[in-house]
Amino acid sequence: MSSEASMVKPDHWANLLWALGAPHIARGFGLPWLPSQRQAELSGYFSRAEVRERLASQLDSSLRRNDERKKTARLGVYFENLWAFAFAQHPAYTLICRNLPLRAGGRTLGELDFVVQHLPSGATEHWEIAVKFYLQVQGEYWVGPSIRDRLDIKLARMREHQLPLIRQPAAREILQQRDIHIDRQWALMPGRLFRPLGEEQAMLHAAINPETCRYWWAPLDEFHFHFRRQPLRWWHLPKRAWLADRGYRAAHGDSVDSLVETLRDRGLERPLCVAAREADRDADREISRGFIVPDDWYETALDSL
């Protein structure tokens, strides 16, 4: 892939709005999902033109400082940084703690992602948040591109460990010492779910949010066969462009043939997130998004189940 074609620069403000307003990838599972009305209130505030004009440069500076301090490119940390900025700047919230470690007897019990005060209600809230991208395997399983993560395991950990943590006696004592009294908890997990190319209309488990499933994955040859006659331009998306589906700045992009030729020459060692727009260079709307995976990815994913 040419350096120009692969040059995609994320739009931090567009990512902030996506982080605040994107739907959860799952429903139920015994988790206290943040209500859509609360999400709408958050994203609505930052959608105002005057708020963006006042705060966009502060967001850029805040993220740059975080990058310099943390020295990590993890997408989950970037996502948390967006939320930390929102809590600090939204008039309805006070950020009390972020990544609060709970330690007792020389061991770490766990960590609370966020503790905030919701000013309209006066409630102190514990939030556990995550942004996740999973590929469907064998119908019922959703596996991360790197195969180190799985949706059902992540949901179970959030339900059985991360949220109940504050009810452990040692954790309660630590919170009392810090004068933190949790009134309620929320779970938040936006992201995207990628289905095998051509199977996007198959039935889904009731707990899976279909709004988040309009995406595909495919080996390189299958990708080429499917899209070879469509007049699209393709971009390789760096991780910080996995969030918002518009707003990011991109060069002219590759044709499907050029992209496939480059990947064959270079070799595909790990799943590659790509997006397509119409061939019109001014087009800003994505037509398609998915993961091109190595030929052995599916077998490796099956072995991980």
Reported confidence tier of residue 233, pLDDT bands at 50, 70, 90: very high
CA dihedral sign of residues 189, 190, 191, 193:
positive
157 and 39 in one domain? Answer: yes
Q: Is the pLDDT confidence value at 71 over 70?
A: no
Reported confidence tier of residue 197, pLDDT bands at 50, 70, 90: very high
pLDDT value, residue 3: 42
Instruction: Indicate whether 7 belongs to any domain.
Output: no
Of the candidates 160, 192, 224, which is a domain's last residue? 192
Instruction: Indicate whether 4 belongs to any domain.
Output: no
Number of domains, the chain: 2
266 and 210 in one domain? Answer: yes
Altogether, the residues listed in the chain come to a count of 305
Render pLDDT for 234-292 as a digit per residue (tens, 0 to 9): 999 999 999 999 899 888 789 999 999 999 999 999 999 999 998 765 567 899 999 99
Q: Which domain holds residue 276?
A: 204-304
Closest to 166 in 3D by CA, of 121, 244, 113, 230: 113
143 and 19 in one domain? Answer: yes
Q: Say what percent of the chain tops pLDDT 70.
A: 96
SS3 301: helix
Q: Is the pLDDT confidence value at 121 over 70?
A: yes
SS3 34: coil
pLDDT value, residue 1: 45
State the pTM of this model: 0.94
Instruction: Indicate whether 197 belongs to any domain.
Output: no
95 and 141 in one domain? Answer: yes
Q: Is the pLDDT confidence value at 51 over 50?
A: yes
| Mean pLDDT lowest among 97-111, 112-126, 216-230, 285-299 | 97-111
Span 183-195, mean pLDDT?
A: 98
Residues 6+ apart with CB under 8 A from 271: 135, 145, 146, 217, 291, 292, 293, 294, 297
135 and 43 in one domain? Answer: yes
Reported confidence tier of residue 5, pLDDT bands at 50, 70, 90: very low
Instruction: Indicate whether 151 belongs to any domain.
Output: yes
Pairwise CA distance, residues 25 & 113, whole Å: 19
pLDDT value, residue 283: 65
